[in-house]
Amino acid sequence: MTSSPPASGCSSPAGASATVSGEDLIELTVACLNHMLRYVKETVADPPEICSKVMKDSAKIKEQLREILARYRGERVELILILEEVQERLGYLPKEALLEIADFMHMPAASIFGVATFYNRFRFTPIGRHAIRVCMGTACHVAGGALVTEALERELEIKVGGVTPDEEFSLDRIACVGCCVLAR
Ligand code: FES
């Protein structure tokens, strides 16, 4: 069974109005965090589809890369498109894929790594079976996104960008997901 995402489950503390005090904010953040953790636990038996995309088998990675790169000419302007497609297919950008791309583009590996690490939408470790992403867009940041992130880091004992040793959970920051109205 798949649960609903936590967004609509977080409600303001009793009496909270448009002006939220520091105490209210902490209470609200803890409530949202508890709701999110419950959601994560409930979905353990039914992982989201995105998690099935993670690919770690070397032979399969090479096969996917061959297919992807065959559609490009190896021009520099194609680099971001290639990185995006590789991440879309593999779930992340493994080191071997970046080296292969460097070879294909006739570019130094350091340049490929430099471009890839410049954009925070690229990740270099596989996501967990349950990918947790905390919105750090302006509205969510003001509503305590950093506190939620810190609490998740403590709870999962990993840092942002990391994955738990059992590969169950990964934690990432994202920019606005277009649900700012739910950030309270
Ligand atoms: S800032 Fe978080 S959804 Fe827009």
What is the residue extent of each domain of the chain?
22-41+127-182, 58-118
Ligand 1 atom at shortest distance from the alpha carbon of 145? 2
Q: How many Å separate Cα 57 from the centre of its chain?
A: 21
Q: What distance in Å separates the CA atoms of residue 160 and residue 170, rounded to the nearest whole number? A: 8
pLDDT of 112: 94
pLDDT of 19: 54
pLDDT tens digit at each of 184 positions of the chain: 444 444 444 444 444 444 556 666 556 555 556 655 555 555 544 544 444 455 667 888 899 999 999 999 999 999 999 999 999 999 889 999 999 999 999 999 999 999 998 887 888 888 888 989 999 999 999 999 999 999 999 999 999 988 999 989 999 888 888 888 887 6
How far, in Å, is the centroid of ligand 1 from the Cα of 49?
23
Residues with CB under 6 A from ligand 1: 135, 137-140, 176-180, 183
pLDDT of 123: 85
Q: What distance in Å separates the CA atoms of residue 56 and residue 66, rounded to the nearest whole number? A: 16
Residue 184: closest CA among 135, 149, 132, 150: 135
Ligand 1 atom at shortest distance from the alpha carbon of 182? 3
Mutate to test the pocket of ligand 1, among 8, 179, 184 (most ligand atoms within 8 A of CB): 179
pTM > 0.75 = no
CATH code that applies to domain 22-41+127-182: 3.40.30.10
How far, in Å, is the centroid of ligand 1 from the Cα of 145?
10
How far, in Å, is the centroid of ligand 1 from the Cα of 183?
7
pLDDT of 170: 92
pLDDT of 114: 93
One-letter amino acid identity for 65?
A: L
Dihedral of the alpha carbons of 39, 85, 65, 79, in degrees to the nearest 10: -140
End-to-end CA distance of the chain: 28
Q: What distance in Å separates the CA atoms of residue 92 and residue 85, rounded to the nearest whole number? A: 10
